[in-house]
A and B are shown apart, each in its own frame.
Chain A
């Protein structure tokens, strides 16, 4: 393998709704085995971008390719074998067991009535084991903690066996320990299973430490690159107005401004 395959590539993308473009001129490229974070202030369009990438809403303009083929050229089931999602919205039914949720990830591969083949069962068991969920598998989702539920959703995405996984704010509502746990887990998944993972987050310091690529959505530059490149360019200093917090390039973290203004 000379150059790792690009699982998702985006050129001059405009996103938003028919009446209003939320963000435009977005360019990035995530290869196999890379973990990419999308960061930006509240309301800038991180979730809109993720929903557009996941085909939950149409793009306005530009090019969006999944493994070299335009997103719109996939049929429903074909796309379901390329992209899996972890969303912020709650599951419609919290009465599903962990096992049932994860097994539903196999739907793109099952027959018309959805019965699991031997291969499907193997993949489900593998996801359960990878996310250390074996002991919870017969629990109902409403009995789980937020961190456990997040792991179940990631396991479901993993069982879907797609080269690309998109996650919308997977660390929200979690304490620091569990935030790190989830992000390290994503890191392991891209490394050991040759996936591409793109997620939105507010945990900029953690993203800098763990991600291979970061997209900073600011509606001006929309800088994209490796964390150290972005720090060198000073991209993070532009992220927030400077009156409250400033970016410390040495530590790669934001500091609260203590001097009175």
Chain B
């Protein structure tokens, strides 16, 4: 057992150092090329030789990198929670339709007004109301999926139901899109590309606090999460209050996936793939190890994806949702082929 803890500690140190270097690298790269030493200066708060560099780093790149950490880590943790709660290795914010729920919430807010009254509601929409709408949408779908999951024990059926929810929300979104103005549509489409940029420090603070609350609830659920690995009946026989624990886990997942999708748009595959990649490293199911590891791994991976999306020294930024899919889908296929089965 001693050896295990040494291995875990080693991997944690490696993950943390990798995250730190990727973080600095992420900040040093961008459409404006800034010397590496100047980047470091700006991060630790010292003035740079050119004032605009300091401005770019402190007001644009730093919040963006921090957002990426929260988004990547938070989505990965929400994926882990869902895989345990649904006893399903393929669960994740995307597969179970939670992200579609968030899209529905966002779409209703951004484009729903025109369907109802013909007035353009877009002027009343700010980022907070967008976040609330998307969170509500994802909560709604999560609760419905949970109710269905209680009736249907079969995991394949559950996944198909999640996909169906995705289709339904996609259909509603396209109906809304059909009736909305070009301006509303554009705003929604940009949201749906996914973006970790554009968050002010104030918005970052909101995102950070809600992710923090989600993580705290996760922390309080660690013991029951481990018990759920045996199955719900066993968990109950171990003294876990099923109702309360399930509720806690759903709230944590909804907060994390909901608020992240609200601020950063739908970002695919991080929630599904990162828990599996982390289990490859740590070779354990223990949530006390997995939750922090999955957060670090998710944050690190999304920072990397963001570097790729950035296209160094180019003005263009690719949609991050596309990058995570291009990287994430092959990873899942590779895991399935190599391991034959995704163990969870």
- Say which residue of A76, A89, A91, A94 sits within 8 Å of B241 (CB atoms): A76
Contact residues, B157-204 vs A (CB, 8 A): none
Segment from A13-21, A101-109, A209-217 that makes contact with B: A101-109
B240 and A76: CB pair below 8 A? yes
B229 and A114: CB pair below 8 A? no
Segment from A78-86, A173-181, A184-192, A241-249 that makes contact with B: A78-86
Question: Chain B nearest CB: distance from A81 CB in Å?
Answer: 8
In the complex, what residue of chain A is closest to B242 when comparing beta carbons? A76
A91 and B238: CB pair below 8 A? no
Known: A100-B285, A107-B223, A113-B222. A92 touches B230 (CB 8 A): yes
The count of residues in chain A whose C-beta lies closer than 8 Å to any C-beta of chain B is 37
A95 and B344: CB pair below 8 A? yes
Cβ-based interface call for B227 (8 A): yes
Complex Cα–Cα for A54 and B238 (A): 11
Question: Chain B nearest CB: distance from A94 CB in Å?
Answer: 7
Cβ-based interface call for A122 (8 A): no
Question: Chain A nearest CB: distance from B80 CB in Å?
Answer: 12
Question: Chain A nearest CB: distance from B283 CB in Å?
Answer: 9
Known: A55-B236, A95-B344. A101 touches B220 (CB 8 A): no
Query: Which residues does chain A contribute within 8 Å of B7, judged by CB atoms?
Result: none
A92 and B223: CB pair below 8 A? no
Known: A104-B230, A107-B223. A92 touches B87 (CB 8 A): yes
Give the bracket for the number of chain B residues in contact with chain A: 20 to 34
A107 and B227: CB pair below 8 A? yes
- Say which residue of B230, B236, B288 sits within 8 Å of A114 (CB atoms): B288
Query: Which residues does chain B contribute within 8 Å of A114, judged by CB atoms?
Result: 222-223, 226, 288
Question: Chain B nearest CB: distance from A123 CB in Å?
Answer: 14
- Say which residue of A83, A89, A113 sits within 8 Å of B288 (CB atoms): A113
Query: Which residues does chain B contribute within 8 Å of A76, judged by CB atoms?
Result: 236, 239-241
B285 and A95: CB pair below 8 A? yes
B226 and A87: CB pair below 8 A? no
In the complex, what residue of chain B is closest to A105 when comparing beta carbons? B238
Query: Which residues does chain B contribute within 8 Å of A87, judged by CB atoms?
Result: 231, 233-234
Known: A95-B285, A96-B285, A112-B223. A104 touches B343 (CB 8 A): no
Complex Cα–Cα for A112 and B223 (A): 7
Query: Which residues does chain B contribute within 8 Å of A92, judged by CB atoms?
Result: 87, 228-232
Cβ-based interface call for A77 (8 A): yes
Query: Which residues does chain B contribute within 8 Å of A78, judged by CB atoms?
Result: 239
Query: Which residues does chain B contribute within 8 Å of A91, judged by CB atoms?
Result: 229-231, 234
Complex Cα–Cα for A89 and B241 (A): 19
In the complex, what residue of chain A is closest to B228 when comparing beta carbons? A92
In the complex, what residue of chain B is closest to A112 when comparing beta carbons? B223
A101 and B230: CB pair below 8 A? yes
Query: Which residues does chain B contribute within 8 Å of A42, judged by CB atoms?
Result: none
Question: Chain A nearest CB: distance from B344 CB in Å?
Answer: 6
What mask results when residues 237 to 268 of chain B are scored 1 for a CB within 8 Å of chain A, else 0? 11111000000000000000000000000000
Question: Chain B nearest CB: distance from A52 CB in Å?
Answer: 13
Complex Cα–Cα for A93 and B89 (A): 9
Complex Cα–Cα for A80 and B224 (A): 13
Cβ-based interface call for A72 (8 A): no
In the complex, what residue of chain B is closest to A81 when comparing beta carbons? B239
What mask results when residues 284 to 301 of chain B are scored 1 for a CB within 8 Å of chain A, else 0? 111010000000000000
B238 and A80: CB pair below 8 A? yes
What mask results when residues 194 to 220 of chain B are scored 1 for a CB within 8 Å of chain A, else 0? 000000000000000000000000011
Complex Cα–Cα for A95 and B219 (A): 22
Question: Which B residues are within 8 Å of any A CB, using their own CB?
Answer: 1, 84, 87, 219-220, 222-223, 226-234, 236-241, 279, 284-286, 288, 343-344
Closest 7 CB pairs of A and B: A80-B239, A77-B239, A114-B223, A95-B343, A92-B87, A92-B231, A93-B229
Can you add 15 more A-B contacts, CB < 8 Å, to A91-B234, A107-B238?
A76-B241, A78-B239, A80-B237, A80-B238, A87-B231, A87-B233, A87-B234, A92-B228, A93-B87, A95-B279, A96-B229, A97-B284, A112-B220, A114-B222, A114-B223
Question: Which A residues are within 8 Å of any B CB, using their own CB?
Answer: 54-56, 76-81, 83-85, 87, 89-97, 99-101, 104-105, 107-108, 110, 112-115, 140, 142, 160
